[in-house]
Amino acid sequence: MDDRKVVRAARDGDEDAFADLVRRYSGGLHRSVARIVLDEEEAWDVVQMAFVKAWQRLDKYDSRWSFSTWLYRIGTNVAIDLVRSRASRQKAHRAETEHRLRLVGGVDEASARLDHAEVDGVLRDLVRFLTPQQRAAFILREVDDLETAEVAKILGCSAATVRNHIFQARKIMRREIQERFPEFVPEDQRGRK
């Protein structure tokens, strides 16, 4: 059954239909928000909060759009709020990144020399320098490989803003790679900011 039919059934009070949506999207949503909040366990809390909010707001879902986009927007907003609240309380909490991330443009040769654990460690160190919006845009676009327009819908901003967040994220990460991990920067790019 397609998502729109399942959502209609859930709106009519069919809890099994909503449980089907939870089964369909929990894993993917978890992977995305885990990269934003940098904590696997906390990411499950975010997923749970996102589904609770989605259940409470099913009447506001516009079926012209993909349910997954709507859900990811809710989840991403919850994740960004969590990161912001952490920052305001000055909590520095980091966890393992689940997938190998593509390093910032121009250092692909260096990333080929690293194993997955090294890349995860380097990128975990790098994404902490990004704002929550930059981190979310970078992860959704560059790691999860979503289209810019879909990332814009999820984040509730324009495609130009998404591109700007990604541009700024790459710039920050490139600078941090050069300062913290110069051994992974190709020689012809060393010293460029």
Domain identity same for 143 and 171: yes
Residue ending a domain, choose from 95, 114, 137: 95
Residue 179 confidence (pLDDT): 84
- The CATH number given to whatever domain includes residue 115 is 1.10.10.10
Reported as a pLDDT band with limits 50, 70 and 90, residue 183 is confident
User: Is residue 130 located within the same domain as residue 142?
Assistant: yes
Task: Report H helices in the chain.
Answer: 3-11, 15-37, 40-56, 67-88, 108-112, 116-127, 132-138, 148-155, 159-180
pLDDT at residue 192, as a whole number: 59
Question: pTM here?
Answer: 0.58
Residue where a domain stops, chosen among 58, 74, 95: 95
- 136 and 68, same domain (yes or no): no
Domain boundary among 77, 95, 113: 95
The CATH number of whichever domain residue 11 belongs to comes to 1.10.1740.10
Read off the pLDDT band of 188 (50, 70, 90): low
Q: What is the mean pLDDT of residues 50-72?
A: 91
What domain range is 21 assigned to?
A: 1-95
In a shared domain, residues 75 and 64: yes
pLDDT > 80? residue 9 = yes
pLDDT for residue 102: 39
pLDDT in tens, 149-169: 999 998 899 999 999 999 999
Burial 24-56 (b: 16+ CB within 10 A, else e): ebbeebbbbbbbbbbbeebbeebbebbbeebee
Residue 106's pLDDT band (boundaries 50, 70, 90)?
Answer: very low
